[in-house]
Chain A
Amino acid sequence: MTKSLPSVTIVRKIKAPPAKVWAAITQPKLMMQWWGPDAGPTLSAVADVRPGGRFSVVFRLLNGEEHNPTGIYQEVVPEKKVVFTWEWPGMPERESLVTFLLEPFDGGTELTLLHEHLPDEDARKSHKEGWRGLLDKLPIFLGDAEWST
């Protein structure tokens, strides 16, 4: 649906079965052990993992800042797929959308994380070409060196 808008995709092959990865993604007790962008603690996790259910995580960064992304589960297929909206309270950012996909892979799991920025209705209607092409060109606009990573 919004695949052609800017998005972050991360794919990882994990040496653990989908059931186990699923648990880590959906059980608050386990979520609290990994959720967050640095080694700071995860302070709370709410995961009512069913369509319409609430998602909320509070984590503290090493610099002391606390953040609380929240959202609503949109789609839940146990051990295969979970989709939820994502917003930061107090920040006027439009919602974005997070998808976790789990595929069995050689005794383990291939995990795909997709974080999409949701377009407004105008953008949704008018975009026909892919975003990726544009993003590929961004380094040209911005100077190659800075964005080469």
Chain B
Amino acid sequence: MVKYQASGMDRTFSALADPTRRHVLVRLKDEPGLSVSELARPLSLKLPGMMKHLDVLSDAGLITRTKAGRTVSVHLSVGPMREAMEWLKRYEHFWAVSIDRLVALVEEDGER
């Protein structure tokens, strides 16, 4: 039924609830492996500010960072988002079926 890793979901949701971080994810989708400074540049963010956002995304498991020499490149990780979608899908299923039954119940003895 409606089960999932709650704490992970909470982190995903709060990580995604920020326009800068969503922007980062969308960019990483198009350009995987961008460096931290490449991510920060168009947002006119200072590196420490960007690092903070990346920490949040990383804690939520939404990105992975790999270091090659002096450059850290950032990649998207879709697992947690999949989980967020699961939350929606499960509730959608739960309610879709329940409400079908509700409708059947009230319409059944209502019209005749």
Residues of chain A touching chain B, judged by Cβ–Cβ distance below 8 Å, are 5-8, 10, 12, 14-17, 20-21, 24-25, 30, 33-38, 61, 65, 67, 88, 91-94, 111, 113, 115, 117, 119-120, 122-124, 126-129, 131, 134-135, 137-138, 140-142, 147
Contacts and interface: CB of A to CB of B under 8 A. Distances in A.
A34 B101 contact: yes
Contacts of B92: 8, 10
B82 interface: yes
Contacts, number: 121
29 contacts: A5-B13, A6-B84, A10-B95, A10-B96, A10-B99, A12-B99, A14-B106, A15-B110, A15-B111, A16-B106, A17-B110, A24-B105, A33-B101, A33-B105, A34-B102, A34-B104, A35-B98, A91-B3, A92-B7, A93-B4, A94-B6, A111-B102, A117-B13, A120-B10, A123-B13, A123-B17, A126-B17, A134-B22, A138-B81
B103 A134 contact: no
Contacts of B102: 21, 24-25, 34, 111
Nearest to B82: A142
Contact of B107 (A16, A113, A128): A16
Given A16-B107, A21-B102, 9 more contacts: A8-B92, A16-B110, A16-B111, A35-B98, A65-B1, A126-B18, A128-B19, A135-B88, A141-B78
Nearest to A93: B6
A111 B98 CA distance: 13
A8 B88 contact: yes
A37 B110 contact: no
Interface of B: 1-4, 6-7, 9-10, 13-14, 16-19, 22, 25-26, 29, 76, 78, 81-82, 84-85, 87-88, 91-99, 101-107, 110-111
List the 7 closest A-B pairs by CB distance, nearest first.
Answer: A34-B101, A127-B17, A123-B17, A16-B110, A16-B106, A123-B14, A34-B102
Most A CB atoms within 10 A — which of B13, B84, B106? B106
Given A88-B2, A91-B6, A142-B78, A14 B101 contact: no
Contacts of B88: 6-8, 135
B110 A8 contact: no
